[in-house]
Amino acid sequence: MEDAENLAECGLDPELRDRLLNEQVECTFIWTNKAGQPFGVAMSFIWRKGSIWLTAAGTRARIPAIRRTGYAAAMISSVGTTIGPGKTVSVRGRCIVHDDRATRDWMLPELARAIRKDDEAGAQAFLALLDSPGRVVIELKPDYELNFDSKKMWARKPDAAPPGRFDH
């Protein structure tokens, strides 16, 4: 490889993809506003049942936008995980806003435990904060995915790699 033009062979191996989706708890969540412009924020999430699950107050601008378009996207980075930097999973797909109690009852505790995985009291406190009357759950069902493993790209030209890219 002389350059970084063709990265088709730099996707994540399936095991590493699954590990990233199950280990990471923060993503960039992206939707389209009323003007048709993309906008995104960092949000906590969990990967369950083949979907990305997030939560927000129903009054957040993203909620009517999702209801209006029915679509959203997310980018999950490996930064901050035991996997190390340079790996991503990006998805887009149908997005459903759940406002029923049954969905909140299973999803919010799982999210709280994922965020505060080593602290049950902390998870319970976080759950109490999350479980508010106007809270909704967002389900992003991916219909397109693009993932990337920079280690595969850097392996083609190791002298160009940033420090630490081969440590994980």
Whether residue 155 lies inside any domain: the answer is no
pTM (2 decimals)? 0.89
Q: Is the pLDDT assigned to residue 46 strictly greater than 80?
A: yes
**DSSP letter at 158?**
G
Whether residue 96 lies inside any domain: the answer is yes
Measured in degrees and rounded to the nearest 5, phi and psi for residue 122 equal -65, -40
Using 50, 70 and 90 to split pLDDT, how confident is the model at 74?
Answer: very high
Determine the pLDDT at residue 154: 61
Mean pLDDT across 102-121: 97
Whether residue 168 lies inside any domain: the answer is no
Q: Which of 32, 101, 126 is nearest to 70 (CA)?
A: 32
Whether residue 64 lies inside any domain: the answer is yes
Expressed as residue numbers, the domain containing 26 is 14-101+135-150
Domains identified in the chain, total number: 1
Which residues, 6+ apart, have CB-to-CB distance to 114 below 8 Å?
25, 44, 46
Which residues, 6+ apart, have CB-to-CB distance to 100 below 8 Å?
none
26 vs 75: CA distance, rounded Å: 9
Unique residue bearing structure tokens 């949000």: 43
Whether residue 122 lies inside any domain: the answer is no
Determine the pLDDT at residue 4: 56
Mean pLDDT across 108-125: 96
Whether residue 4 lies inside any domain: the answer is no
Whether residue 114 lies inside any domain: the answer is no
- Residue 32 is part of a domain; what is its CATH number? 2.30.110.10
Q: Is the pLDDT assigned to residue 149 strictly greater than 90?
A: no
78-92, 102-116, 153-167: the lowest-pLDDT one: 153-167
